Amino acid sequence: MCIRAFFGPAEIRVSYVFRNVTDHPVETVVAVPLPDLDLSAGLEAPNWSFPVNKPDFLDFKLWGNDRPVPATLERRAQFKGQDVTLDLAAAGVLDVGPWKLGGYDPQFAHVPKETMTRLRGAGPIADGDDDHDMPTWVL
């Protein structure tokens, strides 16, 4: 396997070359880990404007053999060192777009009040900038 990488402010390129030395097709998963995003930084975060406001906020693109390949985004969430991914996914808040102008309130509008109250009490959501709801987990 050969890996080449380029990291820049507007683009990250990673090239993997896999050589199948067997006589049959091989399938594998290739992961592209991203750095932790501390959502509790709110609008004070150094890089708060991502390309798109959708679950794949990085607008990640993947090619194999010069053709587009569907990619699956996996999010993991930590709060005070504990994995809270399943709880946040069940509450419907794991897919919030980080650090979007206008805050998180519109992204949390679909979440039942009882769920928001529970998440505030447990800590993964707190009062943020201008008393708006803000996630406090690390993505």
- Residue 71 covered by a domain: yes
- Domain of residue 108 covers 34-135
Tell me how crowded residue 134 is: count the other CB atoms within 10 A of its CB: 23
Give the pLDDT confidence of 70-96 residue by residue, as tens digits.
888 888 999 999 999 999 999 999 988
pTM: 0.72
- Cα–Cα distance, 110 to 107 (Å, whole number): 7
Task: Please enumerate in sequence order all residues whose Cβ is within 8 A of that of 11, keeping only pairs 6 or more positions apart, or say none.
Answer: none
Residue 58 pLDDT > 60: yes
Using the Cα atoms of residue 93, residue 99, residue 105 and residue 110 in order, give the sign of their dihedral. negative
pLDDT of residue 56: 74
What confidence tier does 30 reach under pLDDT thresholds 50, 70, 90?
Answer: confident
Query: Which parts of 1-139 fold into alpha helices (H)?
Result: 85-91, 105-108, 113-122
- Residue 27 covered by a domain: no
Number of structural domains the chain divides into:
1
pLDDT of residue 124: 93
- Cα–Cα distance, 38 to 7 (Å, whole number): 20
Residue 24 pLDDT > 90: yes
- Residue 128 covered by a domain: yes
- Residue 10 covered by a domain: no
- Residue 104 covered by a domain: yes
- Residue 11 covered by a domain: no
